[in-house]
Amino acid sequence: MTYGFDFGAVLDRAPELLWGSLGTLGLALAGMLLALVIGIVGVVARTSKSEITRTPVIVFVEVVRNTPFLVQIFFIYFALPLMGIRLNPTVTAIMALGINGGAYAIEIIRGGVESVSRGQIEAGFALGLHKADVFRLIVLKPALRAIYPSLTSQFIMLTLTTSVCTSIAAYELTSAAQRIESDTFRSFEVYFTVTAIYLVISTLMMGLFALISRHYFNYPTR
Amino acid sequence: MGPIGENEFFFLMQGLKWTVLLAIVGFIGGGIFGILIALLRTSKTKVARRITAGYIGVFQGTPLLMQLFVVYYGVALLGIEVNAWIAVAIAFTLHASAFLGEIWRGSIEAVPKGQTEAANALGLHYVSRMKDVILPQALKISMPATIGFLVQLIKGTSLAAIVGFIELTRAGQIISNQTYRPLLVFGIVGAIYFIICWPLSHAGSGLEKRMAKAVR
C-alpha cells in the first residue's frame, strides 16, 4: 500500500465544512418542524369519522413509506416547476424532508393517540372541556410522552437523510463534501471526515433529546 | 419530449434487476455478519460487547450515503482492483449487518431468561443452547422488525445511484434525462419500488399485530 493520507487538504476547508454542517442542521430542523405539522394534521384527518379525510392520509402514508426518499425528492424537484412553483433547491429539500418525515410522524403520533384510553377522553368531556381542550390536554400531552422515543429517533434518521439532498444540490454538509472532493481529489479523506462530523451531530442530538426527556417528561404516571 | 417505449421500459427493468440483486446480497451478507454481531453483542465478554456496540453505533449514527462513499473509496485505497458492484455490495453488507445485529440483539434479549437457565440445567453447551433453544425463538420475535429493515434496505439501495451505480433509480434518472419526462419516469420508478415494498411492509405489520394479540 503506497497511498499517503492527506487530511490537511480537507482541514484547510474547515470553514466550508462548518457552514455545511449548519446547513444540515437547518435542513433537519426545518424538515422536523414541517414533519411535525404534517404529522399532527394528518393524525387529526386519519382519526376522523369521515372516510373522505381518512383514505387520502392512509394512501399518503403507505406511498411515502414504501418508496425511496431519493425518488421522492426527484419527483418533488421536477413536479414543483411544472406547477408553476419556483423554489431554490434548499427549500425544495425541506419540503421533501417534511413530507417524508411527516408520513412516519403520522404513524408514530397515531400510535400515541390511540394509546390514550377512551375513558380519559370521556372524562374530559364530562368535565365540560371543549373538544380542542380535550385534544390538547388529555390526548396530546400523554401521547407526546408515549411517542417521544420513537419520534426523536425518527428525527435523528431524518437528520441523516438530509445527506441525500445533495442530489438536488441543496446547501448542506454532503454537498460541501462533494465540492471539496472535486477540488482536492482526496475522496476518502473528505468522506471519512464528513462521516465523523455526522456521527458527532447525531450523538449530540441523542444526548439533547435524552436531556429534554429527563426534564419535561419526568412526572409519575400512576 | 421523447416517448417512454419498450426500450426505456427494458432499461428500467435492467436497473430493477440490480436493485433486487443488491438488496438480496446486502440482506444475506448482512444476515450472516448480523448474527455474529448479535451474538457478540450479547456475549459474556465485555470487550466484544463494547466493540460491537461501537460498530452498531457508527452505522446507525451516520448517513447510509456516507457509508457508501467511505467504503467505495476505502476499498479502492486498499489497492485491490474491485469493480463498483463489489464495493457497493460490501457497503450494503456492512450497513445491514449493523442494523440486523441490533434488531437480533433485542430479540435474543427478549427471549425469557428461563429458557437459558433451562438449557443450562439440561447441560447444553453454548452452541446448542443458542442454535436449538434461543435463536429459533429470537428469530420468530424479530420477524416484524427484520422485514421492516428489509424494506429500508431495498429503498436504501437507491442511494447507490448517487455513487454512479446503475440500479433502478439511476436508470430512471438516465431515462428522465433522455426523454424529458421526469414526472412520468420517477412516477413509474416509485411505483415499482412500491409494488416490491408494500406487500413486505404489509406482511410485517400483519405479523406484528398477530404476535401482539398472541401475547395478550
The pLDDT tens digits of the residues spanning B7-66 come to 899 999 999 999 999 999 999 999 999 999 999 999 999 999 999 999 999 999 999 999
Q: What letter would DSSP give residue A5? A: P
CA-based nearest residue in chain A for residue B71: A188
Structural domain contains residue A7: no
- Give the length of chain B: 216
CA-based nearest residue in chain A for residue B168: A71
Q: Is A87 exposed, middle or buried (0-12, 13-18, 19+ CB in 10 A)?
A: middle
Contact by Cβ (8 Å): A205, B60: no
Contact by Cβ (8 Å): A56, A38: no
- Nearest one of B74, B67, B30, B96 to B159, comparing CA atoms: B67
Domain that residue A119 falls in: 16-216
- Nearest one of B215, B57, B50, B209 to B143, comparing CA atoms: B209
**Residue-averaged pLDDT of chain B:** 93
Specify the 3-state DSSP secondary structure of B44.
Answer: coil
- Nearest one of B123, B206, B194, B100 to B155, comparing CA atoms: B194
Number of domains in chain A: 1
Find out if CATH 1.10.3720.10 is the number for domain B6-215.
yes
User: Which residues between 72 and 111 in chain A have a beta carbon less than 8 angstroms from any beta carbon of chain B?
Assistant: 72, 74-75, 78-79, 82
Contact by Cβ (8 Å): B188, B10: no
Contact by Cβ (8 Å): A28, A96: no
The backbone torsions φ and ψ at residue A12, rounded to the nearest 5 degrees and listed phi first, read: -60, -25
User: Which residues neighbour B127 within 8 Å (Cβ) at sequence distance 6 or greater?
Assistant: none
Mutation pick from B20, B68, B69, B102 vs chain A, by most beta carbons of A within 10 Å, is: B69
Structure confidence at residue A4 (pLDDT): 79
What pTM was estimated for this model as a whole?
A: 0.91
The pLDDT tens digits for B99-133 are: 999 999 999 999 999 999 999 999 999 999 999 99
The Cα-based distances of A141 to A136, A144, A151, A216 in angstroms read 7, 5, 14, 11
CATH of the domain at A140: 1.10.3720.10
Q: What is the pLDDT along chain A (222 residues), one digit of tens a residue?
A: 567 788 888 888 999 999 999 999 999 999 999 999 999 999 999 988 888 999 999 999 999 999 999 999 999 999 988 888 888 999 999 999 999 999 999 999 998 888 888 888 899 999 999 988 888 888 777 888 889 999 999 999 999 999 999 999 999 999 999 999 999 988 999 999 999 999 999 999 999 999 998 888 776 665
Structural domain contains residue A34: yes
The x, y and z cell numbers of residue B27, run together, are: 440482506
Structure confidence at residue B1 (pLDDT): 67
User: Which residues neighbour A48 within 8 Å (Cβ) at sequence distance 6 or greater?
Assistant: A54
Structure confidence at residue B163 (pLDDT): 87
B190/chain A closest Cα distance in angstroms: 6
DSSP code string of A137-172: IIIIHHHHHHHHHHHHHHHHHHHHHGGGGGGGT-SS
- Give the length of chain A: 222
A219/chain B closest Cα distance in angstroms: 27
B148/chain A closest Cα distance in angstroms: 10
The pLDDT tens digits for A194-219 are: 999 999 999 999 999 999 988 887 76
CB contacts of A78 in chain B (<8 Å) are 176, 182-183, 186
Please tell me the distance from the alpha carbon of residue A134 to that of residue A219, in angstroms, as a whole number.
20
Structural domain contains residue A192: yes
Query: Domain-by-domain residue ranges, chain B?
Result: 6-215
Structural domain contains residue A222: no
Structural domain contains residue A4: no
- Nearest one of B195, B137, B188, B58 to A66, comparing CA atoms: B195
- Nearest one of A16, A26, A40 to A162, comparing CA atoms: A26
Structural domain contains residue A2: no
Structure confidence at residue A217 (pLDDT): 78
Q: Cell 440490480, residue?
A: B18
